[in-house]
Structure 1
């Protein structure tokens, strides 16, 4: 099986061009290729497929084999791949996902190579039942959860997948993300588990964030999580509805929740790492 390794702000996946390749068991393949000792090593597996409703379709699988609805960093890489490879060579690419069809604007360099991409992530979902989160009020901006003797206040948002965002007062770079993240991911308030974001407020237009991803663990970046974090900041009056730069372990993303259409727009890079042949079972 031919594959391409790509990353967006260090959030790295194995990409398979299913216009040419065939994968019979993506759940098992995701577990195998994601292993950083016995496989290729990645945050998961992404299949790039034909679509009846968009330019192409993306399926994304976590290292534990579970399928996720959407991944903001991965979808930028998918758009770059199909643009650069000439599969869909258009300035605006549409990608079908389990969270709906996403529209991506491609920004190229002087050699017509995609460098950064802007994704229309759609409107954030803040109704409790649709996130989903079990809570007495909606939207959920004050869900109090505790772990290891410490209490946190969460705002819950869906960007096609469930997120719970908490703003902490200390330096997020030194925060024990794994200790708390793996507890909150499986909290009983989240019927489909949740991605957990820990954010530090630098200024109204700059945040720092680390993420514990559902089914994966901590990653260097999470596109949907970054969008959810900015949405949560706006809901809590922390950030304005203007472009906000979010510092992640793997780089920076610029997020804007526009007043004009209510959609969130994410701009960031997508890069190739290497290509190769995988000889395991597919």
Structure 2
């Protein structure tokens, strides 16, 4: 089986965009399909774009096949894809697993509103927690190398007592941040990818919010990740992220197994998806 997709990245965060208007996959098991395609094309996740009740929709599956409720850089890539192919306006909305999001394009730059800051709490002097569509722990510290961030991130990501304390036993994303002269630097260990990624949009938003509390940094805040920079704004309790998106080319996934949709879905810790209530 061949599945056509577009490879894109937002601030170094890479995705395959599968257009279900052109390639219907309703009867396919997206869990196993996403794992196979992500590994085959070495990407952080798979974005499935479609229209639901006339509204643009985006579903995001991580590299390990887990369906997440949100992905900030993924949403920015989906926004640009919809604008370039289906939507005549620069400002519109997209339905995600975390609800309806307001988005805006300006050529290669895409801004998305992630919604209100939720569940913020300070755990201790160094650890903070913020939900920005997915759960994020933010670790306050100093410049950290990749190997150390990977090892500490892996440990915290599945720390049972921490995850249960913040109300997310499925696991948390972990961001290590430190203050620079004109920005904050971030290293993010992402759930589903199970590694340090080049960038994380929801993690950058969570980190900027914590930085505004801890360092008293004024918005807009520039965040610096391995893959590039994002600008984070905060207006009336709503966080938005803005940055560049890029097309990397057309690809074809060659899937030897059909991965038909099972009667009972594969088990992952259940998330609450916005479209389940429609």
- SS for the counterpart of 1:42 is coil
- C-alpha distance in 2 between matches for 1:276 and 1:17: 12
- C-alpha distance in 2 between matches for 1:185 and 1:53: 37
Name which structure has the greater RCO, CA cutoff 8 Å, separation 6+. Answer: 2
1:93 deviates by 2.3
> What is the aligned partner in structure 1 of residue 4 from structure 2?
2
2:165 counterpart of 1:163:
no
CA contact (8 A) 2:171 2:191 kept: yes
Q: What do the CA deviations read for 1:219-255 (whole angstroms, capped 9, x no partner)?
A: 1000000000011112324312x21111110000000
- SS for the counterpart of 2:73 is helix
Give runs of aligned pairs for residues 1-282 of structure 1, distance below 5 A: 1-23=3-25, 24-35=28-39, 39-52=40-53, 54=55, 56-85=56-85, 87-108=86-107, 115-126=108-119, 139-143=120-124, 153-169=126-142, 171-173=143-145, 176-188=148-160, 189-190=162-163, 191-203=169-181, 205-216=182-193, 217-240=195-218, 242-258=219-235, 261-280=236-255, 281=258
- C-alpha distance in 1 between matches for 2:64 and 2:37: 11
- SS for the counterpart of 2:52 is coil
- Structure 1 gaps, min length 5: 109-114, 127-138, 145-152
- Structure 2 gaps, min length 5: 164-168, 260-278
Taking structure 2 as the reference length, what is the TM-score of the superposition? 0.84
CA contact (8 A) 1:167 1:201 kept: no
Structure 1 residues 243, 175: CA separation in 2 closer, same or farther (over 3 Å shift)? farther
Q: What do the CA deviations read for 1:143-192 (whole angstroms, capped 9, x no partner)?
A: 47xxxxxxxx21000001100001112x2345611111111111112112
- SS for the counterpart of 1:27 is helix
- C-alpha distance in 2 between matches for 1:218 and 1:61: 17
CA contact (8 A) 2:13 2:200 kept: yes
Name the Cα RMSD after superposition: 1.6
- C-alpha distance in 2 between matches for 1:34 and 1:18: 17
> What is the aligned partner in structure 1 of residue 268 from structure 2?
none
- C-alpha distance in 1 between matches for 2:50 and 2:14: 19
Number of residues of Structure 1 aligned to a counterpart in Structure 2? 246
The structure that is helix-richer by fraction is 2
Taking structure 1 as the reference length, what is the TM-score of the superposition? 0.83
CA contact (8 A) 2:146 2:196 kept: no
